[in-house]
Structure 1
């Protein structure tokens, strides 16, 4: 069954981007091969694989055709204003847009009235709504008036910019009941400090809307991100409690399966039928199968679960959560029993399992993690070992507290206190692990190399696990290496840009030659930019660009020029400080500069652009090329200016983006798409009062596959090119 699952998975991941004609062609081919192979016994595996391939391809063809030929898609292409009856299919996610509350919510459009047509449809769409989204929960229906636009996602028919919406109707009783329990969880922890108050709902039902960006980033570096998403871990905990109660009640094999299945259904209702929840439910079903049939039965169930999931939702095949969950489950089923059996020779069984499960999952996921993020967490196993014991009590206490809070809030808060204490421990582990200098390792080679490296590493781990002295010695050596890594040189070899940590401001450096650089902006204070340039060994500034006259970009100029020669200063139409002894001119569109390793061109602003009251809009925008790497430095331009830049026909394509305006929400999605960067840097101050970088901006970067680094969390950020591959080194 394994070949069939892998082929079906790979086909779904390709076909959802290839279009309905390709999917239909694969369907016909799969059916033909299946008919030819089924007659010969040695080819039965090929026949089964072809059947699964044809089924998944047929699902893709049907779904893609439905979207491509939907009346809603046609109206979206025409940017029609429409009145729609919609049903919420995923809870709204709030964000801030130009200082105002807003939300993005996935809906199913059931009826649309536009251009004199009254149409019944059942198409998915993404809606952007102003105001607080508290009433936009799964299952509720409402009428909205909005401007339709085409969607970049092949599974959606449209994007809706809502200009007016009516009240929401109540959902079916099971959705309303689940919402009451979710609200009960939030009330049960409402008296806790901010971080535990946000984390407990994420652990219980995947509600991570209140989790701060700092916690998200630290959990990513420490390998604990899976705890904040609804995953097999959450469901396994719930299943374990249910199974214990069921066994205590006298239920046996079939009864346990029924209890497990009912628990999965209830969990999906509570955590919402998002793709990640459906995937977690499937992995939970795999766990139930393994309980009944052992590891081999579990692997078979995992393969069928993969085929079934990509048949029901082909787009699930491309989501990181699905990739990591399926691979981790496979690793646990295949490797954990072997590793645990060898560790049991010299330690208690509970301890052997506690070590074997995270080690197996991490080894299995390592190639996928490197492919998705370009780095591998070195502290993930240790962090999960330390945080793991607190996850189950936090989840169970939070869930019980949520149920009790429905009846009486003070009683629920008593359980919420227990959940909060456990969540506090998890947060401590996440923060401490992320703060370690060697918390994660940048992977510069192609991720496919790990497909050869990981099996060798797995063989070594299994062999060493039976030798206590060697196993413990290697583990302690790894801990010491992570805790006190060897010092690395700065700047790193092959650097093409450094975004300096200057607090809530901007300062970027491009190398020209040894000791020489182009500097773009200086931040607000003298000391931080001076420190950054000194560490880089910069003694001569060939060109100092001051993008616009705001203090957080120019007031640190004395720190930049102190003890350094400045050849030329370029300012935007909003001006900037006069720097003694340095010739100065106003940068003009089309102006170019080339020296040493760096060439740059001014893309914005046009000469007729007067600063007015918005100096951000006339920031100098540069496109530079260093060692073949294209970099776009954007000052503080907002969405309106970004749209004007696109309309001007300027080539904004780049490999690296210095994110505009410290990551504010005032960004244009089409601009980010046109840039097409794979790496982004964000100059932002810790605990700033502006909410930078905004959750909306980070979500847009994540949707486009852009990896970002922030100076408030990572310090100085150096973009490096080695063997033609981009990586990032922080300091």
Structure 2
């Protein structure tokens, strides 16, 4: 975001060069916003034939209006310039609605949508459009049934599908989800035949349906030569980066080409907290650095403008293929090509006009980008740099104390501020360290990128030289790691902020206020003083005043990443703990924050790592009275670890089934599942999860572990009864019985799930079912640690703490 000089390296000028007659060229902004908004609305709501027909008629009628508006009045003046703008904007709005509506139709209506809603199992022909994404850690063997290994997701284009009694041809984007290594080794462009179960996409998704692969796919042919070459180059960069110690070694491929397969999960969390995640997503700056370097070198060779533009265009296209067409890369590539056309033609370029042209071209070519949060963030960041960056930079540089640093600060602030409403919409809070972190990180981005690209190119012919270049790039990556680590460690580095429309609207109001105050010197100093004072209060004072846990808390879902860690208040300093997550440090920190000093009862619903691997954060660290476990001692290695830990700490272990009950301090509990161990299911440990009905004070809670439909049916037959709080089974996966969700009558649904997990948790269908049942949903991936509070009126509400440590990894 901060490399404005690199953006201008594509021939897209900033400052006064970006203006027409000294002002920003706004002529294409209206059409760009119109086509984007129309495509997004039609894609999200799935407009029916009537609205699409109206849009078609409007599009056909607009040229007539344009001709009327172009009719010259007396003296050769343009007759109705306002009408011309209105008709052109309306035409682009109608075009956006048409392309967005046409792209979204398969998701809402037709045979494919019907089969997805019925969860049919089909045979499908797909072409992969991205690299497969493998989970950060392999799930335990028992989660995978006969085919072991991690979960893999990959985006693809559906070509044909054969279901019960019908065969359909299509060309729509889909998401493949598979177990094991079946999908892991394929390249984009590979055609596959798969047997898969269909599931509907969620609201706002950019895919038509989800395919859950049921059997190993069959490859049809090979990817084209370009994709094979790109895969070979990416593998060469990974091999060269192996000489760089972690976590910098895993960061280098992520920084250069967006390959996050080796990125350390802890570093990923630090980058997210520090507001530096865009560096690992291949933003437009990466592409601009590469193409800008090529333009600079060719300029030294005194090549003409056309030759330089053609060479840079080839580099742009090649880099988009190499880095994969993510939203930011596609936006930057389109914008860069527009600028290069202008460079080749020898005509003036306006950055805002180039950006608007890129938006129009991308949305019309592929309307799914209209719903992409990454695309929105990329466009808004670039807009902020163009509109506010030059003026703020000039104002800061006039202060001698700032000097040339003003440009970097201004660009970082402009980009971050422009993105704030969308970041608020997405949830997870707003980073207060993002601007300084990006300013300090900026000097290392260009050297790391240029040296990394060079290492990738040289790796094709000379491994030792490639390793040397990778080591040099690693020095810059080490700096980025240090910056992220320090920034993420700042107390209260993230401000809690409401998600959704309300949060976005509030953030937008704050942005407007900040920009208005920054326009004049007196209010600018007032703004700076207020921001510094508020940040100091936030970092130094508020953590001491804002008590945690909140008064009246009964249950806390700890933010332990991709796993479960639940705490039920048994007394002033004691608690019943249900599951301990994958990381001992995370569950230990949560218990410390809650003031828990003893655990009279610890329950492990089952023994998968995402529920049991954090055991040492409780057993051996705090006094534990008893350990209650699932009746199925699998996976065997995890059971051995539990036994060893309990024996060493002198904690008795008891395996229980339905009917076990007790009272521990203020907690009354009863196990209602499983009645017996189920064998031969997709995951026997999941279906042996302890399902526990608990009451704390006046709050009733249903804790479900990772129970899947076989156990859910078994439990439902015994009667669920109304409860206040439902801990949604299996991190909100799609494997839910609808009646298991709805018959609980819960007011609050808790989903303990890791950020950016590769399992697709929580599933859109599960979220839709919870909302349809009238439950408010609290998620640890969006809200951090969540407490359930008993209100004075006898009800319950969920209170989210500021986002804490996150993870997306172990277990399923």
TM over 0.5: yes
The aligned residue for residue 686 of structure 1 is: none
Kindly state the Cα deviation for residue 548 of structure 1 after the two structures are TM-superposed. 4.7
| SS of alignment partner, residue 132 of structure 2 | strand
The answer to whether the Cα contact below 8 Å between 1:387 and 1:429 also exists between their aligned partners in 2 is yes
Q: 1:18 aligns with which of 28, 45, 59?
A: 45
Normalised by the length of structure 2, the TM-score is 0.71
Matched, 1:728 2:728: no
Matched, 1:239 2:291: yes
Q: 2:385 aligns with which of 322, 325, 332?
A: 332
The aligned residue for residue 4 of structure 1 is: 31
The answer to whether the Cα contact below 8 Å between 2:736 and 2:766 also exists between their aligned partners in 1 is no
The answer to whether the Cα contact below 8 Å between 1:184 and 1:402 also exists between their aligned partners in 2 is yes
Matched, 1:617 2:685: no
Once the two structures are overlaid, the 10-residue window that deviates more, 697-706 or 157-166, is: 697-706
The answer to whether the Cα contact below 8 Å between 1:68 and 1:157 also exists between their aligned partners in 2 is no
Number of equivalenced pairs: 695
Matched, 1:450 2:507: yes
The aligned residue for residue 31 of structure 1 is: 59
The Cα RMSD (Å) is 5.2
| Whole-angstrom CA distance in 1 between matches of 2:726 and 2:291 | 45
The answer to whether the Cα contact below 8 Å between 1:221 and 1:434 also exists between their aligned partners in 2 is yes
Going from structure 1 to structure 2, the CA distance change for 1:652 and 1:224 (only over 3 Å counts) comes to farther
| Whole-angstrom CA distance in 1 between matches of 2:325 and 2:381 | 21
Kindly state the Cα deviation for residue 478 of structure 1 after the two structures are TM-superposed. 7.5
Going from structure 1 to structure 2, the CA distance change for 1:67 and 1:359 (only over 3 Å counts) comes to closer
Please list, as runs of the form range in 1=range in 2, the aligned pairs for 1:104-123 lying within 5 A after superposition. 104-112=153-161, 121-123=170-172
Kindly state the Cα deviation for residue 231 of structure 1 after the two structures are TM-superposed. 1.5
Q: 1:696 aligns with which of 744, 754, 758?
A: 758
The answer to whether the Cα contact below 8 Å between 1:609 and 1:618 also exists between their aligned partners in 2 is no
The aligned residue for residue 635 of structure 1 is: 705
Matched, 1:266 2:338: no
Between 1 and 2, higher relative CO (CA 8 Å, sep ≥ 6) is seen in 2
The answer to whether the Cα contact below 8 Å between 1:67 and 1:154 also exists between their aligned partners in 2 is no
1:442-473 deviations in Å (ceiling 9; x for gaps): 12473312222212223444545999x99998
Structure 1: tracts of 5 or more residues without a match: 683-691
| Whole-angstrom CA distance in 1 between matches of 2:722 and 2:252 | 42
The aligned residue for residue 429 of structure 2 is: 375
Going from structure 1 to structure 2, the CA distance change for 1:622 and 1:388 (only over 3 Å counts) comes to farther
Normalised by the length of structure 1, the TM-score is 0.78
Structure 2: tracts of 5 or more residues without a match: 1-27, 70-79, 142-147, 634-642, 743-747, 768-776, 805-812
Q: 1:201 aligns with which of 242, 253, 258?
A: 253
| Whole-angstrom CA distance in 2 between matches of 1:229 and 1:203 | 7
The answer to whether the Cα contact below 8 Å between 2:558 and 2:780 also exists between their aligned partners in 1 is no
The answer to whether the Cα contact below 8 Å between 1:128 and 1:160 also exists between their aligned partners in 2 is yes
The aligned residue for residue 345 of structure 1 is: 398
The aligned residue for residue 131 of structure 1 is: 181
Kindly state the Cα deviation for residue 695 of structure 1 after the two structures are TM-superposed. 3.8
The answer to whether the Cα contact below 8 Å between 2:421 and 2:508 also exists between their aligned partners in 1 is yes
| Whole-angstrom CA distance in 1 between matches of 2:374 and 2:84 | 32
| Whole-angstrom CA distance in 2 between matches of 1:202 and 1:452 | 34
The aligned residue for residue 354 of structure 1 is: 408
| SS of alignment partner, residue 399 of structure 2 | coil
The answer to whether the Cα contact below 8 Å between 2:122 and 2:198 also exists between their aligned partners in 1 is no
The answer to whether the Cα contact below 8 Å between 1:720 and 1:726 also exists between their aligned partners in 2 is yes
| SS of alignment partner, residue 91 of structure 1 | coil
Once the two structures are overlaid, the 10-residue window that deviates more, 397-406 or 278-287, is: 278-287
| Whole-angstrom CA distance in 2 between matches of 1:504 and 1:300 | 43
| SS of alignment partner, residue 305 of structure 1 | helix
Q: 1:52 aligns with which of 88, 92, 95?
A: 92
The aligned residue for residue 687 of structure 1 is: none
Kindly state the Cα deviation for residue 639 of structure 1 after the two structures are TM-superposed. 7.1
Going from structure 1 to structure 2, the CA distance change for 1:648 and 1:12 (only over 3 Å counts) comes to farther
Going from structure 1 to structure 2, the CA distance change for 1:126 and 1:449 (only over 3 Å counts) comes to closer
| Whole-angstrom CA distance in 2 between matches of 1:385 and 1:82 | 51
The aligned residue for residue 224 of structure 1 is: 276
Kindly state the Cα deviation for residue 67 of structure 1 after the two structures are TM-superposed. 5.8
| SS of alignment partner, residue 492 of structure 2 | coil
1:254-289 deviations in Å (ceiling 9; x for gaps): 555444433321211211234443233234447668
Kindly state the Cα deviation for residue 299 of structure 1 after the two structures are TM-superposed. 1.7
| Whole-angstrom CA distance in 2 between matches of 1:641 and 1:553 | 25
The aligned residue for residue 473 of structure 2 is: 419
